[in-house]
Amino acid sequence: MNIDRPVIALRPLLLLLLAIPVSFPSSAQKNKGAVSPAASPAAAATPAASSAPVEVEWLAYSSLDKVLQKVATYACGTMIAKDPNVRVVVLDTPALQALEAYDAFFMQAESINGAFADMAPQSGAGGGIDDFADITGAVTATAVASTSETSSNFTIQDPTAALVLLRKLLPAGCPNAYYAGVYAVSDVAGAKANFKVYKADPKAGKEIVANDLPTVPEELDNLATNRAQTLETIITLPSGQPTPNTCYATATPVQGAPSGTKTNASGLTAVSSSDPCVSAFNTLDSTYNAFLTSLSTANSTTGQTAISAAKQGYPLRAIFQLANTKPVLGIYLNVAAAGGTQQDRKNLISAVFTGDWIRYSGGVSVNVVVFQVTGTASKVLFSDLIKFRTPLTKISAPSDKKGLNAGDNLDELNR
């Protein structure tokens, strides 16, 4: 009986030892625990752009799932319940940049088009160019402000949040959900601009007025045709009454025309390149050529050309212009931050038996703006920074473990 007493007396001491965290070199740890050699305080203080463990990223994406599910439920319950024909458009920073690219392209093209028309106005040409209404101006301002937010651990790419939300909108009751570039022709057919658009008519040799919102190829074709017609008008002597406010070049007779040369009523004439009207056209034409060059120049940051971005932005602009007859619910998303925590607990039990006890947490902060567009009017329905963080937890093993611990895949060559 006396032999048992020392053992009983040692039990409190053993429990105390088990409760005290003990640090061991990583080489002495059991392989049962996932030990991260980079989990030092110094490394945690200055994380790299992708320093988060993959388990933290998984939990952060799960948090994003939770946030966007709430956004989808809110959005579909706000307007879709009242009007099932409402279109829901998901916007992120690349989508807004494409929208702005089309607007910039369209305004520059119309400005040059209008300048050509003012130099040689054709029958039926419209006048003046109004400001192109940007119904998403408030959202764009929010996007610019939101781009200053950066993740402390890792970055969730812009399309990810939009595509996840798009997936959740459909079962939430939003059948008419769209993302940038994902449209059918019927979705954007019949879109109108907010003012009269110059449209060249090569068959009639004049310009007509329309307000159909032109695609990028249509606008470039209109501009090129109008340019050619303007030059032809400037250097061609009018056969009848001159068109008012048209800049006609002064033609001078050419002596000694070869036999059989076709001439007009005044004989063979020529126009000097120093003529004021021709000189004015050449100045404007240099602007036109510089505009075309800029369209094919790649952006130094994204690598995308301006014409490619404008083509992507056209469906967005068209679908917003159709809000006169088909209201639009816009949802802007921007992941402000994503990251989490890795907790590594060590004690005598983990050192001897189990290996380190490691748990993870993950979370995201997402800028969300929900706005309604009806005609030319728009209003913000919801705007906030939505946050969600998971508690510290273990990551479950995958359901299909086959091949996860394979040392090679050489059998693939036998197939």
What does the pLDDT look like over 259-308, one tens digit per residue?
A: 555 455 556 677 888 888 889 889 999 999 999 999 998 888 778 899 99
Tokens of 387: 């946050």
Tokens of 246: 């048209």
Tokens 């989808």 sit on residue: 72
Using CA atoms, how far apart are residues 59 and 392, in angstroms rounded to an integer? 10
Pairing relation of β-strands 357-374 and 328-345? Answer: antiparallel
DSSP 131: P
Q: Which of 38, 76, 78 is nearest to 54 (CA)?
A: 38
- Classify the phi-psi angles of 102: left when phi > 0, otherwise alpha if psi is within -120 to 50, otherwise beta: alpha
Q: What is the pTM of this model?
A: 0.69
Which residues, other chains included, contact 405 with Cβ-Cβ below 8 Å and sequence gap of 6+?
none
CB 132 within 8 A of CB 370: no
What does the pLDDT look like over 40-75, one tens digit per residue?
A: 333 333 334 567 788 889 999 999 999 999 999 998
| φ and ψ of 328, to 5 deg | -120, 135
Q: What's the whole-number average pLDDT of the chain?
A: 74
Which pLDDT belongs to residue 334?
A: 92
CB 252 within 8 A of CB 259: no
Which residues, other chains included, contact 296 with Cβ-Cβ below 8 Å and sequence gap of 6+?
305, 306, 307
- pLDDT by residue for the chain (415 residues), tens digit each? 444 444 434 344 333 334 444 433 333 333 333 333 333 333 333 334 567 788 889 999 999 999 999 999 998 887 776 777 788 899 998 888 888 999 999 989 988 888 888 887 765 444 333 333 333 443 443 333 222 222 336 888 878 898 899 889 888 888 888 887 555 556 777 788 776 676 766 555 455 566 788 889 989 998 998 888 888 888 887 666 677 778 888 877 766 655 555 455 556 677 888 888 889 889 999 999 999 999 998 888 778 899 998 998 898 888 888 887 888 899 999 999 898 888 888 777 767 676 777 888 899 999 999 998 887 678 899 999 999 999 988 888 888 888 788 888 888 788 7
